[in-house]
Amino acid sequence: HSAQFLGLAGALMLIAHLGVMSPVVCLLPVAGYYSGVRDVPATWQRWVVVLAGVIYALLAAFSLAGHPPLSETLTAMAIARNDVRGISLTVFGVETILVGTFFLARASRVATLQAMEQLEAARRGIQQREALLNEAKADFNHALQAGRLGRVTGQTVGSWLAGDVIGRGGMGEIY
């Protein structure tokens, strides 16, 4: 769980430093997607994404309240121009994309797990059919070997040794 949390925390610290309108904001949906496909409880994943969204919204609120980021960026320029609408739309868009990528990741994970279950079921079916085929081959070979043995196979008849049966008919067997 800690790698997921550290990734989002790192992205949020960069956003706090560079501003809510900086290109670093693109890391939030990536971290949200990574959070959604992880093999951890969905409740934990939801809380992490909600927490990231709330922190991002708080950073935006601080920016709008006149507390710019630590460096001179697009956010600082937007605040200087009093572009509340631009910052608000950016925050709304980022929040929407963050939630969308998270749910897309969850759906992707579910679909992947279902495909893996179907693949495993197909693999088991193939193994069962292969076992049945091997059994049928063994029965066929046994029947084939049994068909080559005659009443006198392996016995000496006169100066001749009777081998495998090569044919049967109404009058007897041919060795």
Per-residue model confidence (pLDDT) at position 136: 93
pLDDT at 25 over 90: no
Task: Output the six-digit token pair for 16.
Answer: 């706090």
Per-residue model confidence (pLDDT) at position 143: 78
User: For 125-175, what is each residue's pLDDT tens digit?
Assistant: 999 999 999 999 998 888 777 777 777 888 888 888 888 888 888 888 887
**Longest Cα pair distance anywhere in the chain, in angstroms?**
119
Q: Which residue in the block uniquely carries the two structure tokens 């001749």?
A: 160
Integer Cα distance of 151 and 173 in angstroms: 9
User: For 37-68, what is each residue's pLDDT tens digit?
Assistant: 877 777 777 888 888 888 888 888 887 777 76
**Cβ neighbour number for residue 31 with a 10 Å cutoff:** 25
Buried b (16+ CB within 10 A) or exposed e, 68-79: bbeeebbbbebb
Task: Output the six-digit token pair for 24.
Answer: 């670093």
pTM: 0.61
Per-residue model confidence (pLDDT) at position 68: 63
CA proximity to 59, closest of 33, 29, 95: 95
CA proximity to 36, closest of 110, 116, 114: 110
In this prediction, residues 101-121 reach a mean pLDDT of 93
User: For 63-74, what is each residue's pLDDT tens digit?
Assistant: 777 776 665 565
Burial status of residue 2 (CB atoms within 10 A of its CB: 0-12, 13-18, 19 or more): exposed
In this prediction, residues 1-28 reach a mean pLDDT of 77
Which 3 state secondary structure label does DSSP give 113?
helix
Helices (H), 65-166: 74-80, 84-148
